[in-house]
Chain A
Amino acid sequence: MNAQDENSMKKLLRQALPPVNSDAGPGRDLWPDVLRRLDTEVVAPALRGWVWFDGALLAGLVGLVAIFPASIPVLLYYL
């Protein structure tokens, strides 16, 4: 594809999909929405620290207790 072909493709593309008018700005004040979004972050702070390793540890513990029920008193002792 030479430079002339490239320019004709660019022209055709702009004809098919004209640029949007991005100068208008949002139609409403978005700050209240941002505040609401930030509130959702505050509501569940404990879950943010929940990583896959915690889940794997818990699953391992449940598995251990299921296979060796006798280990329950030992676990309770160390808790």
Chain B
Amino acid sequence: MLSEFVVVDDADELSVDALGKALSARVESRGTERRGWLDTFDWRLYRAGLVLEHRESPPGRSVFVLTDLEGQRLARLPAPAGGIPSVDDLPAGPLKEQVMSRAGLRTAFVRASAEGRVGHLAVLDAEGKTVARVAIDGPLVVAGHAEPLPVRIRVEALRGYGKDARRVAERLGASPRVRRADDTLFEAICSAWGLQPGVYRSKPRVHLDPAMPAGRAFGLLLGELVSIARVNVDGTLRQIDTEFLHDLRIAVRSSRSVLKVARGVFDERLRSHYAAELKWIGDVTTPSRDLDVYLLEFDDLVEHAMDPVAMRPFRTLLARQCRKAHTGLNRALRSKRFARLLDGWTDELVASDEPGPDADLPVVRVGGDRLRSAWRQVRRRGNAVTDASPPDALHDLRKRCKELRYLLEHLSSLYEKSAQREIVGELRQLQNNLGEYQDAENQRRLILQYAEELVAQNASAKTLVGMGRLDHYFEHRQAVARAQFADHWTRFDRKHNRRVFATMLEP
């Protein structure tokens, strides 16, 4: 644990000046700061051992500080004053590189904030060299909390001067007015915000007992899925990054799969009602997601497909359509219908007191039956695909694969891990191939649709030729995926996998 202390008795002797005097340290700064801690929604920075903080002090001094979890500073970057800029807008440099490389597709945004006093002391040696730093934070006021967080004192070790920092920490630790902190300031602030850094799930983590009644087990799964959907709604509405919508869609799609196989487990009237409602919201999210994906990949695609400058009008059109699609999506997500769907999902469906006839059967039996059925459906459709099959046949197979995959993942706690993982791994390879094919199909459909719009807008010949080349590029990708399908299918449908699957389901 780092040398961080919480002041238990707010006495004058622990003020910045008094501490400076007691430790023979120079007061480097003191004042009031507005502070924001940034991370991605799934805590990618924290999980990589990083804490990104934005600090703003009057008059308009603003800085980003990147530290490790123990508060040791790794990088610092002055930022433009006036609000917290997006990390995307920061100048290139190590801080931005470290944050962006960890964040990937996700955006680091303000997860928690506080305001209050800060002070910094420099403990000097005989040469006047700083050998340790002491930061005094607080009391910090967190919005919505009447009680401010108590003052914290953190001793920062400087490279090559560890002994000096330890000496300062020992002196501080000997004071009866402080206690050693059992969490970091960041964790304490997050806790005040009701957040647990590092805790995030995009898939349900439910441990099912094989004897558990199927109604209860599927109810638990749906309960988890609705809470995952719920937490991703705000980020989708605010378009913080594209992964909120992605995770929301997966929760919706997973729920549809669960509902589909839960025939006989829930009350049929409710089940079919919510299946239809989930299909509605799933369909509403599709245009936004398709355009998000297109825009995410656009720069890479254009790089190796054609002249990027000529493609600008196409990108502008995609961006405009994407905004439009998100506006429509936001309207749906703010609608009473969606609110009723979310509330009813939990209250009506999961807690229904009119269960279906299979509700009391053990989940291992119901789950096994449904898995066998899903497996059979995948095999039937896969074996029916020939070179002459239309794209829809592959799309249909892909959907069945997804259903099987969700079931395998959601019911994983009922089965032997290695067999379950092996089957999921095999399925994933097949899905990747089908995904590549289907994505190229979607991209080509959009190219044609938007080419017509651009023609109506008198787009230049260069743009249209570029789009033609892009279509050709996707056509090639699609053809490659199609040519590889037979091999992928043969691999998936081989005897070994069938045996592993059958053994996995054996009681």
Tell me, yes or no, whether A binds B.
no
Chain B interfacial positions (CB closer than 8 Å to A): none
